[in-house]
Amino acid sequence: MASYNPKSLHAEEFINDGEIRETLAYAEANKNNVELIDAILEKARPRKTATGCTCAGLTHREASVLLACEIPEKVQKIYEIAGEIKQAFYGNRIVIFAPLYLSNYCVNGCVYCPYHMKNKTIPRRKLTQEEVRKEVIALQDMGHKRLAIEAGEDPKNNPIEYILECIKTIYSVNHKNGAIRRVNVNIAATTVENYRKLKDAGIGTYILFQETYHKESYLQLHPTGPKHDYDYHTEAMDRAMEGGIDDVGLGVLFGLELYKYEFAGLIMHAEHLEAVHGVGPHTISVPRLKRASDIDPDQFDNGISDEIFEKITACIRLAVPYTGIIVSTRESEEVRGRLLHLGVSQVSGASRTSVGGYAEAERPHDTEQFDVSDQRSLDEVVRWLMENGHVPSFCTACYREGRTGDRFMSLCKSGQILNCCHPNALMTLTEFLTDYASEETKKVGFEMIERELARIPKDKVRAIARENIEAIRSSNRRDFRF
């Protein structure tokens, strides 16, 4: 029997089933232990330091106790602290991105995913480079600067060379004032050599959802294809890091397995990356299972309510304060609105989950991966964020300046975000407003920018930000590297 060892490179030792089960038992035994819960909450609070702000984070055991706790006042405290951490490290900024589906060819048999090989109801399609260009132009014309590319796993149709060619095409398109400045990649687990190629191609974050940390369920949910190999999949982030990618994004697909098990596994995975590579995950995504072609989510027993989903998100915020949390358009405007106060720092906007869905705007598109709940335009999402006090950010500066991995984490910890990220967010928002926004959104946006400029602590930084914003508005722009 494998034993628990967060520093091990073997999946069954760092995501150790015995340790997860003991954690769940410990959490259950302590879910009404007010003294312990108060101590954990106290530990999770952000604290001011001479140079900025710090936050201890929580171990998977501590965080699991909070997730198990059902005492209303304590749950309320979890939510309050989640909001405080979000404010302390990310401020009121929300980073915006969109997925770009390159190909739905797939050789796997994942039973929850419409791309599964046996699904004959979904037309298979792979974008040509000309079609990639058209998609990118459509995305740029909305105002997007940051993409997450998505593809099924198919070594013949979507080999790494195809993915690399697409990345090159995406970065090469400059339509009007448009540019995609960061391409994140969500493709199947691969080799160190291929991760190195992705790194060399200039990708941002490598994202791979674990789907489930429960090995037995994993094997049943992925009955055929290369993804069936639980260890290879679970150890993918270690190979990505070995290949030089230091921004990696974790996630589980909530609804497949019991959420408390998944939560403990997710935090243990984050602890493992920190223990072995000295840097935790850059992001954690919180996707929930959705209806799709040939997929009925009701056939899966572990669906979670909105309330539990919110609690999970808040507990992630407390456990890993320096990790961004991503919520996609799988979720409705209402749920997304609530999650934004519980620690989410990135949202997608105006997403199409179909291959070719941006340039061919009709809906529903026949290759859609799953139903999206939030179908608003990017302009609407941006205005909605601002009306609710959030600053939409299209900034990619950290990545472009090489502040990835532990260098990003130290910026986060230094509390310099208001002097660094905030002006960049305002400048990229100005680009969006000037180039792509409706009159109504412009009005809300420029009023917000005035208010937010005043919050920049350093006079010199504020003056430079104002000067740059004026340059962008007068179209006298240069590449500011944000």
Please give the residue ranges that form the binding site for ligand SAM (CB under 6 A).
112-113, 150, 152-153, 186-188, 208-209, 211, 227, 253, 287, 289-290, 292, 295, 330, 369-370
Q: To 5 degrees, how large is the angle CA 87–CA 418–CA 346?
A: 50
CA–CA separation, 326 vs 321, rounded Å? 13
Smallest gap from Cβ 209 to ligand SAM, in A, equals: 4
**Phi and psi at residue 249, in whole multiples of 5°?**
-120, 125
Angstrom distance (rounded) from CA 238 to CA 227: 16
Q: How far apart are CA 426 and CA 420, in angstroms?
A: 11
Question: What is the smallest separation between the CB atom of 255 and ligand SAM, expressed in angstroms?
Answer: 8
**Cα distance between residue 73 and residue 327, in whole Å:** 26
Question: What burial class does residue 35 get, using C-beta atoms within 10 Å of its C-beta: 0-12 exposed, 13-18 middle, 19+ buried?
Answer: exposed
Task: Write down the least CB distance from residue 104 to ligand SAM, Å.
Answer: 8
Does residue 432 contact residue 419 with C-beta atoms inside 8 Å?
no
Which is closer to ligand SAM, CB of 16 or CB of 328?
A: 328
Pairwise CA distance, residues 364 & 21, whole Å: 42
Shortest separation between residue 227's beta carbon and ligand SAM, angstroms: 5
SS3 content of the chain, % helix, strand, coil (to 5): 50, 10, 40
For CA atoms 162, 167, 171, 175, give the dihedral sign.
Answer: positive
In angstroms, give the least distance from the CB of 347 to ligand SAM.
Answer: 16
**In terms of CB distance, is 94 or 148 closer to ligand SAM?**
148
* Between 58 and 295, CB nearer to ligand SAM: 295
Of the pair 289, 469, the CB lying nearest ligand SAM is at 289
- The one-character DSSP state at 153 is -
Nearest to ligand SAM of 369, 430 (CB atom)? 369
Categorise residue 334: left if φ over 0, alpha if ψ from -120 to 50, beta otherwise. Answer: alpha
Taking the complex as a whole, the smallest distance from the CB of residue 308 to ligand SAM amounts, in Å, to 17
Q: Which lies closer to ligand SAM via its Cβ, residue 253 or residue 421?
A: 253
Omega before 364 cis (within 30°)?
Answer: yes
In whole angstroms, the minimum distance from the beta carbon of 146 to ligand SAM comes to 17
Q: Which is nearer to ligand SAM, 182 or 222 (CB)?
A: 222
The residue type found at 429 is L
CB–CB of 194/86 below 8 Å? Answer: no
CB of 235 to ligand SAM, least distance (A): 14
Of the two residues 365 and 383, which places its CB atom closer to ligand SAM in the complex? 365
Q: Where are the alpha helices (DSSP H) in 31-71?
A: 34-44, 60-68
At closest approach, how far in Å is the CB of 328 from ligand SAM? 8
Question: Please, which residue, 42 or 161, has the CB nearer to ligand SAM?
Answer: 161
